Chain A
Amino acid sequence: MIEVRNVSKIYGGEGEVKALQGVDLYINKGEIFGIIGPSGAGKSTLLRCINLLETPTTGEIWFDGVELTGLSSRGLRRVRQKMGMIFQHFNLLSSRTVTENVEFPLEIIGMPKRLRRKKVKEMLELVGLTNRADHYPSQLSGGQKQRVGIARSLASDPKVLLCDEATSALDPATTRSILELIKEINLRLGLTVVLITHEMDVIRMICDRVAVMDEGLIKELDDVQKIFIRPESSITKDLLGQVKVKFDPTMVNDIDEGWILKITFVGPSTKEPIISQLIQKYRLVVNILAGNIEQVHGEAFGELVIKISGNEALLLEVINDLLTKNLSVEVLGHGRDSGKFAETSTSIV
């Protein structure tokens, strides 16, 4: 659907800035693709390169079999009419009512007035704002404004929706409702969605695949679940810190005996009473230090930090047992009196 080939973007002038340094990306039809990174990572520039609001310094952008950087300005405008975009600050026209805002892209594609009104009505029904049709944006809440933004971006039947930090200015509850709406539209219309965000929560809730960006480069790109279970780059781990279990490292440093394990489980295994099984089977003393469970890409994703005591052989047996259940286990630390094995290897996965 969308292919970014070796795109770089360098802002000239004094103190040249390399916003993108050779990015390759392929976005499949119908997927929700997330791009996450800290501010200044280049994700906003990358998103704007897709519809050429920013012209790449080098590289190619392919959309639906057409290379965009070589298009005339007229050809490019045609292509943009097939790409919807929503923004962090909504960017609605303050001088137009909700209806007139949604009508705007239809005026641009030259749709006759009668058809425009019909289409606007459909769009407002889709986003649930029929009763606000004649309001001005200043009379709406943030969530309602973004709904107008979504209605506007979808009015001209685009093939892709670009979301530029679309929920970053909204409170958590509104964020969830907007993300649900985007997901619903993705499923109902088969619309491809590309979104950028700095919040792992957004990725967790609706994305199929995610690219992690930093310093103008893609550091990691994979299915969302895989990234959550086995993050590879340090930047991904940092970003995951936002949503993963909050665990105080001083708890690990100051123990007398036993091991501290972090168990990560996904999908069906979250429903099994693993800890209770451990206690019964091995007669272990288990102390739960931290834990949480969340939905990632529609599946449960849990993390649990526990402390267990016992001799080394038993602990290794426990870990092996857990691993056979398709869980991922990480040894975070061990007590002063614990065995040599823990001294030499602090991580078993």
Chain B
Amino acid sequence: MEGILVNLPKHLPLLFNGLQETLYMVGVSLVAAAIVGVPLGVLVVVTEDGHILKQRWLNLLLGGVINVGRSIPFIILMVAIIPFTRAVVGTSIGTSAAIVPLGVAAIPFLARVTESSLKEVDPGVIEAARAMGASRVEIIFKVLIPESLGSLILGLTITTISLVGYSAMAGAIGGGGLGDLAIRYGYQRFRGDIMLETVVILVLMVQAMQWVGSRLAKRVTHK
């Protein structure tokens, strides 16, 4: 244990760099995935039978696409979409390149998370809004999303934490980050101390994310 503490100051720049890379990958891919995934989830809910925008075929199609996306293992997705990654960021190696598969993987995940959150909204409240003459857009933005906001925030938290886990795998394409650090130094170079430090940072980070997420969710929920 002593050895770990002694070497910690020397490792700090390395660890800090890894943390930055992880946050960058997770942050950017989360935002990108939310921009596509959340509306996708909303669309899946409202096009369902009996909902405000019933579209049976669109609903089945979207559901199918999401399922396909969710069934591909991340490590395979990462390699499979290399041409797409190259087209988007110009390279298939490095931290920025890792963002593409991370974002793509998070889209269907987030769509399902959004779907399950929105389905918790009491159908009676939607009916009340319809009875007041609200349009579909108003129902989505004034009823569905605000009413499920707490649940959505918890869903985003789960997604963020999953992305932290996935981002470790992105080390395989030179993605960098804490996971990569743990594998290259800790595992491949038998540096138990760096491995342990990385894991501790990851644990603390996940704890912090969950704490912030839960607090935020609680603040917006008045059930």
Which residues of chain A have a CB within 8 Å of any CB of chain B? 51, 53, 76-81, 83, 85, 87, 89, 91-96, 104-105, 107-109, 136-138, 152, 156, 162
A108 to B138, Cβ gap below 8 A? yes
Q: Contacts A91-B127, A95-B222: A108 and B133 contacting too (C-beta < 8 A)?
A: yes
A94 to B222, Cβ gap below 8 A? yes
Sort A-B residue pairs by CB-CB distance and give the 10 closest, nearest first. A80-B133, A91-B128, A81-B133, A136-B222, A77-B133, A91-B124, A85-B131, A95-B146, A105-B132, A94-B223
A138 to B132, Cβ gap below 8 A? no
Residues from chain B with a CB closer than 8 A to the CB of A87 are 124, 127-128
Q: Contacts A53-B127, A93-B147: A78 and B222 contacting too (C-beta < 8 A)?
A: no
Interface residues of B in 107-161 (CB under 8 A from A): 122, 124-125, 127-135, 138, 142-143, 146-147, 149
Residues from chain A with a CB closer than 8 A to the CB of B204 are none
Residues from chain A with a CB closer than 8 A to the CB of B127 are 53, 87, 91
Would you give 21 A-B contacts (Cβ < 8 Å), ordered by A? A53-B130, A77-B134, A77-B135, A78-B133, A80-B133, A81-B133, A83-B131, A89-B122, A91-B124, A91-B125, A91-B127, A92-B125, A93-B146, A94-B221, A94-B223, A95-B221, A96-B146, A104-B132, A137-B222, A138-B222, A162-B131
Q: What is the CB-to-nearest-CB distance from B52 to chain A, in angstroms, rounded to a whole number?
A: 11
Overall SS of chain A's interface:
mixed
Residues from chain A with a CB closer than 8 A to the CB of B131 are 51, 53, 80, 83, 85, 162
Q: Contacts A78-B133, A108-B134, A138-B223: A85 and B128 contacting too (C-beta < 8 A)?
A: yes
Report which of B132, B133, B134, B149 forms a contact with A95, defined as CB distance below 8 A.
B149
Which residues of chain B have a CB within 8 Å of any CB of chain A? 122, 124-125, 127-135, 138, 142-143, 146-147, 149, 220-223
Chain B minimum-CB-distance residue to A95: B146
The A-B contact count (CB < 8 A) is: 67
* Cα–Cα distance between A104 and B134 once the two chains are bound (Å): 9
* Cα–Cα distance between A93 and B143 once the two chains are bound (Å): 7
Q: What is the CB-to-nearest-CB distance from B100 to chain A, in angstroms, rounded to a whole number?
A: 35
Report which of B125, B130, B220 forms a contact with A93, defined as CB distance below 8 A.
B125
* Cα–Cα distance between A87 and B130 once the two chains are bound (Å): 13
Residues from chain B with a CB closer than 8 A to the CB of A78 are 133
* Cα–Cα distance between A154 and B31 once the two chains are bound (Å): 41
| Further 11 A-B residue pairs, CB within 8 A, beyond A53-B127, A104-B129, A137-B222 | A53-B131, A81-B132, A85-B132, A89-B122, A93-B125, A93-B143, A96-B146, A108-B132, A108-B133, A108-B138, A138-B222
